[in-house]
Chains A and B, each alone.
Chain A
Amino acid sequence: MAYQSKLKSDEINNELNDVEHGKTFLNKEITNERMEKRILLDKVARKVFSLSTVFALIVLGILFYRIGTQSIGWLDLKFLTSNLSIFPEKAGIYGAIIGSVWLMAVVIPVTLLLGVSTAIYLEEYANQGKFQSFIKTNISNLAGVPSVIFGLLGLTVFRRLFDLGSSILAGGLTLSLLVLPIIVVASQEAIRAVPGFLRDGAYAMGATKWTTIRTVVLPASLPGILTGCILAISRAIGETAPLVVLGIPTLILRIPDSIMSDFTALPIQIYYWTLDTVLTPQYANLAAATIVVLLVVLLLMNSVAIFIRIKFQRRY
């Protein structure tokens, strides 16, 4: 037996040798010369790519430095808890924070419900025909439409047609429209990533489509859906343009207390304070302090998204 297997391995070795001693198709001298050039090019490429990264980091650093130095002394607890005022020393962003929270209270349920339902329909129920692929492509395109356009849409539909004024509801619905495509696309991807054999397992047990979606597809795709939602919502929380187009009043002294109240939000506050810096230079410091608050909120939300992604990551 051992003898036989030795014979066999000898045969294989011979075959390999035949290949090695066959025709030479690489002239080692020429290839070595070319290799020098390639190694050099490799070093250059490394430098170019790392410099690109450094450039972005430097710009970000400058931004942080400016905001940091401008907001020092202005960002304190009083800033977070006092209401707007025309006197910079007294002004705070309490109203804007509450306004942003109200906005999210509209955006989160609306986008989650509509976005996830749309994604489920497109991925699970819709026939994969030409019309469906047309819709799918256009949802991806919508995600790239400038936010000002969504502001105009909100102005036409919610403010003029439905007569919602510049209320939280009008603003929230406008922002929902803006981030809906993002949630739909993210949810679609998460749902598509659920392997077909899991669905088959459920179908083979006599589960209906909806039961399969509810018990297998959604639980498995939930981390992806949630991550997409949080990222979309953090986009909504930082949007200014649609709200400006919608005509949010510049100075609101009342804290919003219902869905129909007028409101201001964090990015709007930054925008108006920056505009008025010419009149009152201290407004620049207020804007910087608000930027810090907004950045912290965004960072927190993104960390939650990353946490969910890592914590619930599943392998099949």
Chain B
Amino acid sequence: MLTNGGSSQNGVVYDVKGLNLWYGNDQALKDINLKIEENEVTAIIGPSGCGKSTFIKTLNRMVDNIPIVRTSGKIFYHGVNIFDKTVKLEELRTTVGMVFQKPNPFPKSIFENVVYGPKIHGIRNKKQLMEIAEESLKSAALWDEVKDRLHDNAYGLSGGQQQRLCIARSLAIQPDVLLMDEPTSALDPIATNRIEELIDELKNNYTIAIVTHSMQQAARISDKTAFFLMGELIEFSDTKKIFTTPEDKRTEDYITGRFG
């Protein structure tokens, strides 16, 4: 239902309309309007506490897990409002994958981590699972490093490898969108570089939204950039434009390092 929404505009994956979000009485997102387009990398930048992580977690409704959260407004995913009662959370999250700030592999083997998604969604065939694991690990540029120790514990991998494993795990259920919440903030520059290269490759097949602390990263990897401040979307346009000729004074101040 979610993937084949007929009424979607061409190329628009997410259409966020008038999104507000409260933690209890604190409003964390104020009237957000933005479109995320197919096969593009959309970066979300802004100082700590500006609501950028909250925003990305609304896109697959991970915020629902926090009891005190209330939302208003609409998020259309391929034309379907994801807050609609008929939308199944589980279905949404199989089409929209997520990679977290801290690498969070399960305390299982590398193989078991990658095939976790396919397994819980009912694939039992060993051969098929192996194929999925190989393909996902190759897409996440991790296959060559782990192919000889697929059954070792995932915690034996380095931080960067663990994060790529988490990406492989998300890819294994063949999502259309990949949400990344500061995926490199816990990694060293070399590992960060590898993930960035990976994102650049992945965008051919996936639509990616990435929250990042690093403006250089946003500038390097994204097509569009959204600048959040105090829960408001200040500016959203082509990355090139944001970093060269921003329209809003506050965007300019932030990207030139005058605050934040």
Contacts and interface: CB of A to CB of B under 8 A. Distances in A.
B100 to A, nearest CB: 6
Contacts of A316: 107, 155
A37 interface: no
A167 to B, nearest CB: 43
Given A128-B67, A220-B107, A315-B155, A201 B120 contact: no
B195 interface: no
Contact of A201 (B67, B91, B92, B106): B106
A54 B137 CA distance: 58
B62 A203 contact: yes
B155 A204 contact: no
A206 B94 CA distance: 5
B106 A205 contact: no
A205 B67 contact: no
Interface residues of A, number: 21
A206 B117 CA distance: 8
A207 B97 CA distance: 12
Contacts of B89: 206
Given A206-B117, A207-B90, A198 B106 contact: yes
Contact of A204 (B102, B105, B121, B170): B170
Contact of B94 (A128, A205, A216): A205
A204 B62 contact: yes
A314 interface: yes
Contacts of B155: 315-316
A204 B98 contact: yes
B93 interface: yes
A127 B121 CA distance: 27
Interface in A253-310: none
Contact of B100 (A128, A200, A206, A216): A200
Interface residues of B, number: 28
Interface in B92-134: 92-94, 97-98, 100, 102, 104-108, 116-117, 120-121
B35 to A, nearest CB: 23
B251 interface: no
A208 interface: yes
B60 interface: yes
Interface string A182-213: 00000000000000011011111111100100
A140 interface: no
B90 A206 contact: yes
Nearest to A215: B120
Contact of B107 (A128, A207, A314): A314
B169 interface: yes
A206 B93 CA distance: 5
B141 interface: no
B65 interface: yes
A315 B89 CA distance: 30
A216 B106 contact: yes
A197 B105 CA distance: 9
A201 B169 CA distance: 9
Contact of A200 (B65, B67, B91, B170): B65
B255 interface: no
A216 B105 CA distance: 11
Contacts of B65: 200, 203
Contacts of A146: none
Nearest to A220: B107
Contacts of A315: 155
Interface string A111-135: 0000000000000000110000000
Nearest to A214: B120
Most buried by A among B60, B97, B104: B104
* Top 9 A-B pairs, shortest CB-CB distance: A206-B94, A206-B93, A204-B98, A197-B104, A205-B117, A206-B90, A201-B104, A314-B107, A211-B120
Given A203-B93, A206-B117, 4 more contacts: A204-B98, A206-B93, A206-B120, A211-B120
Interface of B: 60, 62, 65, 67, 89-94, 97-98, 100, 102, 104-108, 116-117, 120-121, 155, 166, 169-170, 173
25 contacts: A128-B67, A197-B100, A200-B100, A201-B104, A201-B106, A201-B166, A202-B106, A202-B116, A203-B62, A204-B97, A204-B100, A204-B170, A205-B97, A205-B116, A205-B173, A206-B89, A206-B91, A206-B92, A206-B94, A206-B121, A207-B90, A216-B106, A314-B107, A315-B155, A316-B155
